[in-house]
Amino acid sequence: MNMKKIIFDAHQDVLTHEQDNNKIIIQTGFEVLAKSTIKMVVSSVFLEPDKIVGLNNEQKIKIIENQIRDYLTIIRDNEKLMLIKNKRDLNKLMQSNLTGILIHIEGIDFIDENNFNIIDYFYSLGLRSVGLVWGANNNIGGYSGSKMGLTNLGKKFIKKLNDQSMLIDLAHTNERTFYDVMKISQKPVMVSHGNCYQLCEDSRNFKNKQLKFLAQKKGVQGIFFSKKYVSKRENVSVNDVVKQFVKSYKISPNVTMIGTDFGGISSGFVENLNNVNRLSQLMELIEKKLGKEAAEKISYKNFLNFLEKII
């Protein structure tokens, strides 16, 4: 195994970023990942709001299916990449020089009572992780800008995800939906990319009480690098990101992981932290601050241990 490739990233938007012809900064990409320090990445399929105006649920589902199939084709055609679907794949990954891709859906805004079982089909294709909401409430629960909790359909959906051994991602949820899911899920859940509210007061971030509950339930928290969610200071530096990691790690050393959100950062970058090739330098700073054992847990061990409990 190439020991340099030992970072697990709990959230990137690789496909949509790769297909974006107007990108100013290349945050990530399939070839970039294969050459980077990242060993495994959870990468999303996503309904871009400006592209789905007026579409019905059936049309939205088709977009998601096509994106999953795009991932499968790209992974099949790149000998440096492999699809992660189960514990056996994780074991193979850790004994190889490959880069793993675990497919995630960010926001299930097409689910209703009539198409509830479409998630079974997506699972059969290779989907293994589900983010319940993104930028709006849906039939499952409430996003960070609202007060709505988990719906009755949402409660049934959480049970289905548990039964399928799918990862449940509470990034973008509000407090009420967060606690509703945490209390009924029979398996640990993750916050793939959500920072510490105490260091940056924003509804997208998570309060100490939430993070302690997440730790109690054996979940994980990915610190991400979108500038306005790291700090409210005018000049946000890598040191502010390190503070986020330190804060999370002090709440629980088994919770903290990386969830960069590369490919999806559109509201400003932290200085010197705008693409996947910057991660090695960040990990060096974290190691200096917290020590080698902590750095390894944050880099990949916490997330790997979590994954092995679920998929």
Report the distance separating Cα 202 and Cα 220, nearest Å: 19
> Chain-wide mean pLDDT for the chain?
96
Q: Would you place residue 5 in the very low, low, confident or very high pLDDT band (cuts 50, 70, 90)? A: low
pLDDT digits (tens, 9 = 90+) for 170-206: 999 999 999 999 999 999 999 999 999 999 999 999 9
pLDDT digits (tens, 9 = 90+) for 66-115: 999 999 999 999 999 999 999 999 999 999 999 999 999 999 999 999 99
Spatial CA neighbour of 294 closest among 217, 240, 242: 242
Three-state DSSP class for 104?
strand
Residue carrying the six token digits 């920072």: 195
pLDDT digits (tens, 9 = 90+) for 108-165: 999 999 999 999 999 999 999 999 999 999 999 999 999 999 999 999 999 999 999 9
pLDDT on residue 1: 40
Calculate mean pLDDT across residues 210-224: 98
Give me the percent of the chain exceeding a pLDDT of 70: 98
Q: Which residue has the higher pLDDT, 22 or 177?
A: 177
Whether the predicted pLDDT of 2 surpasses 50: no
pLDDT on residue 95: 95
pLDDT digits (tens, 9 = 90+) for 249-260: 999 999 999 999
Backbone angles phi, psi at 89, to 5 degrees: -65, -40
Evaluate the CA torsion angle 260, 264, 37, 122 in order and state its sign.
Answer: positive
CB atoms within 10 A of CB 184: 13
Q: Which fold has domain 7-310?
A: TIM Barrel (3.20.20)
The answer to pTM > 0.85 is yes
Radius of gyration in angstroms for the set of CA atoms belonging to the chain, rounded to a whole number: 18
pLDDT on residue 50: 87
pLDDT on residue 22: 86
Q: Which residue has the higher pLDDT, 68 or 21?
A: 68
pLDDT on residue 197: 98
